[in-house]
Amino acid sequence: MVVMARAVTIALLLVGGLAYADRPALDDARLGAAAPELHALVDRAAASGLPAELLADKVREGLAKGVPPARIVLVVRGLSDGLGRARVEVQPFVAGAPSATLLKAIVEAHAAGVGAGELTAVLRAGAHDRERAVQVLTDLAQRGYPVAVAARTVSAIAGHGRSGLDHLVGEAERLRSVDAAAPGDALDALARADAQGLGLDHAEQLLHHGSDASDSNNGNGPNRETSGGRGPRSGGVAAPPHGKGHP
């Protein structure tokens, strides 16, 4: 009984310690009448196992930006609700309590316009690093890539480890900038390159030569410099000899 009582006391101290560590922000005089509700939101999150420090961080952010206290309450309440939903969404895919960073990544993904079905697909496929997979999906969504295509591409690449995820956004942006690829076309080319084991840096071949890079080596692929509506690329680079394909 003594041991159990001591364990309960320690647990209460830990929860209380988290709340007290956050009090410099929550007790800021600028919060005025909003302070009690913010205290309640943070304490309730800590008691339910949610990352209360994220709520306190949001209070500090609001104060630093001069946001009115009533607005801070609305934002913190919304974040608390979002973290609770995120925990429910991710629970089938993780053992134990999900990390605060993963829950935050899920909340930010939804804020960027990612739907529940798209997020579930990425969480299911991203076993190597779910947090990173969700972050990449959010980044793509914020840059204007079609969310459904982005989710499909991230899911495919996430299944092969984190290394591809770390280069996905950069390669997609390169295809859009250098090759004037549409966002969805860039992602499709990257997914096909990954599926064929070519590496993401070879997606340009698939972007210009159709669904299979081998077309450029068997005479069936179009001439990348003259075919299509774009015509020759700037710089006057000559087309490669027929049958040799793209380097």
Does any domain span residue 8? yes
For residues 56 and 92, state if they share a domain. Answer: yes
Tens of pLDDT along 192-247? Answer: 998 888 888 888 888 766 545 444 443 343 333 333 333 333 333 334 444 444 44
For residues 50 and 68, state if they share a domain. Answer: yes
For residues 190 and 122, state if they share a domain. Answer: yes
Query: Is 187 within 8 Å of 153 (Cβ atoms)?
Result: yes
Q: What is the pLDDT of residue 210?
A: 53
Taken in order 41, 42, 47, 52, the sign of the CA dihedral is positive
Q: Cα 234–211–178 angle (5° rounding)?
A: 25
Query: Is 190 within 8 Å of 168 (Cβ atoms)?
Result: yes
pLDDT winner (highest mean) among 11-20, 175-184, 200-209: 175-184
Q: What is the pLDDT of residue 201?
A: 83
For residues 135 and 106, state if they share a domain. Answer: no
Report the chain's mean pLDDT, rounded to a whole number.
79
Q: For residue 29, which amino acid is it?
A: A
Domain ranges, residue 72: 1-111
Considering only CA atoms, which of 197, 205, 235, 202 is closest in space to residue 222?
205
Tokens for 33, please give them.
């009448």
Does any domain span residue 34? yes
Residues 168 and 178: their CA atoms lie apart, in Å, by 15
Q: What is the pLDDT of residue 102?
A: 96
For residues 69 and 38, state if they share a domain. Answer: yes
- Answer with the one of 76, 111, 146 that is the final residue of a domain: 111
Tens of pLDDT along 74-90? Answer: 999 999 999 999 999 99
For residues 24 and 98, state if they share a domain. Answer: yes
For residues 122 and 105, state if they share a domain. Answer: no
Q: Cα 32–36–40 angle (5° rounding)?
A: 145
For residues 93 and 4, state if they share a domain. Answer: yes
Q: For residue 103, which amino acid is it?
A: L
Q: Looking at the 3D structure of the chain, how many domains does it have?
A: 2
Considering only CA atoms, which of 222, 245, 142, 155 is closest in space to residue 194?
155
**pTM exceeding 0.85:** no
For residues 28 and 68, state if they share a domain. Answer: yes
For residues 98 and 164, state if they share a domain. Answer: no
Q: What is the pLDDT of residue 127?
A: 83
